[in-house]
Amino acid sequence: MESAEEVLEGLKEAIIRGNRKGALELLQRSLELKVDPQKIVDDYMIPALNVVGKRFEERKIFIPEMMIAAKSMQACLDVIKPLLPKEEGKKKGVVVIGTVFGDLHDIGKNLVVMLLENSGFEVIDLGVNVPPERFVEEARRVNAQVVGISSLLTTGDPYVKKTVETLRASEIGDRIKIICGGAALTPNFVYSIGADSYAPDAASGVSKIKEILQIDS
């Protein structure tokens, strides 16, 4: 019989390779071997997804493999989350995120959410079609440091602009950091409307957020 270490390494590899069935089996086996669920998540699952994000950023893997890996991760998270002790610990920061008003795309944004949570951020996901005022209200309510806006449609530009303007004009305007991403946006546009950062993909979204919050790792 293989050691717990082997099973766990296998689990990590299965998530990276997007082998959902394999990952779920190995997760089950690690649980049967009485490995601490927190350890499974912290030392194997999270690093697995980080590898995926990094490989994507480095153009070693592309959208399909990233999405498939994210799905295996999600499937494992669904199993293991109920077993984790209630969260306490200090979060790296609070991020409010959503897809811009008028836009219903959320697959890319969901990936960003997953990677952010993976990296220790608390994420409040407002879903899709989010009006500018909701970003402000929620960011204020949860005392967020960062607002993330996702936009996939060319026609969303005016609303991205309006959202940034509304945030800036609000009472949290001078302290909130704003990051925008999604296939419709260009860095030029994002900076010209007064956002703090632009991210071309999910992994760089996380590193950019760390950058603007001046978090080291």
Partner 1 sequence: MDPYLVTFLPSHITLKAEREETILEISRRAGVDIEGPCGGRGRCGKCKVLVKKSKGISEPSEEERQILKALISSGYRLACQAVLRDETTISIPKAEKCSEVRTNKGIKGGFPKLRPVSFVEWELEESDIKACPSKEEIILRGLKRKGFKREAKVELELLKGLPPLHELLEKRLIFVLLKDGEILKIAKDPIQKIYGIAFDIGTTTIGGYLVDLMEGQVAGSLARPNAQRAFGHDVMSRVSFSMEHPKGLTLLRSSLLECMNKMVEELCDQIDIRPDMICEGVLVGNTVMHHIFLGFPLKDLAHAPYRPLTTKAIRLRAKETGLFLSETGHVNLLPPKAAFLGSDIVAAVLATGIHKRKEPSLLMDIGTNAEIVLGNRERLLCTSAAASPAFEGAHLKCGTWSMPGAIERVEVEGGGQEIRLKTIGGLTPKGICGSGVISALASFLKAGLISKTGRLSHKIPSSRLREGEEGLEILLYKGEGGEEVVITEKEIGEIMLAKGAIKAGIQVLRRHWKGEEISQVTVTGSFGASLGPSDLKEIGLIPLGVADTIKTVENAAGIGACMALLGVRKRKEIERIVSMMEYVELSQDPEFEELLVEGLLLEGA
Beta-strand ranges (E) seen in the chain are 93-99, 121-125, 146-150, 177-181, 197-199
Per DSSP, the three-state class of 125 is strand
Task: Pick what 140 binds: partner 1, ligand B1M, none; C-beta below 5 to 8 Å, kind-dependent.
Answer: none
Q: To the nearest whole angstrom, how small is the minimum distance from the Cβ of residue 171 to ligand B1M?
A: 22
Binding status of residue 189 toward partner 1 by CB under 8 A: yes
Backbone angles phi, psi at 37, to 5 degrees: -55, -40
Candidate residues 98, 132, 156, 182; the one interacting with partner 1 per rule CB under 8 A:
156
* Residue 194 vs residues 120, 197, 214: alpha-carbon distances, Å: 27, 9, 19
Task: Pick what 112 binds: ligand B1M, partner 1, none; C-beta below 5 to 8 Å, kind-dependent.
Answer: ligand B1M
Binding status of residue 60 toward partner 1 by CB under 8 A: yes
Binding status of residue 65 toward partner 1 by CB under 8 A: yes
User: Exposed (0-12), middle (13-18) or buried (19+): which is 53, by Cβ within 10 Å?
Assistant: buried
Beta-strand ranges (E) seen in 100-176 are 121-125, 146-150
Binding status of residue 182 toward partner 1 by CB under 8 A: no
Task: Pick what 108 binds: ligand B1M, partner 1, none; C-beta below 5 to 8 Å, kind-dependent.
Answer: ligand B1M
Beta-strand ranges (E) seen in 16-86 are none
Under rule CB under 8 A, which residues in 120-149 are in contact with partner 1? 128-129
* Residue 215 vs residues 32, 206, 208: alpha-carbon distances, Å: 37, 11, 10
Q: Which residues bind ligand B1M (CB under 6 A)?
A: 63, 67, 97, 103-109, 111-112, 148-150, 152-154, 179-184, 199, 201-202, 205
Candidate residues 24, 31, 33, 102; the one interacting with partner 1 per rule CB under 8 A:
102
Candidate residues 24, 84, 153, 172; the one interacting with partner 1 per rule CB under 8 A:
153
Query: Within 10 Å of residue 43's Cβ, how many Cβ atoms?
Result: 14
Q: To the nearest whole angstrom, how small is the minimum distance from the Cβ of residue 117 to partner 1?
A: 17
Binding status of residue 186 toward partner 1 by CB under 8 A: yes
Q: Which is nearer to partner 1, 18 or 93 (CB)?
A: 18
Going by the DSSP 8-state scheme, the letter that residue 89 receives in this structure is S
Binding status of residue 54 toward partner 1 by CB under 8 A: no
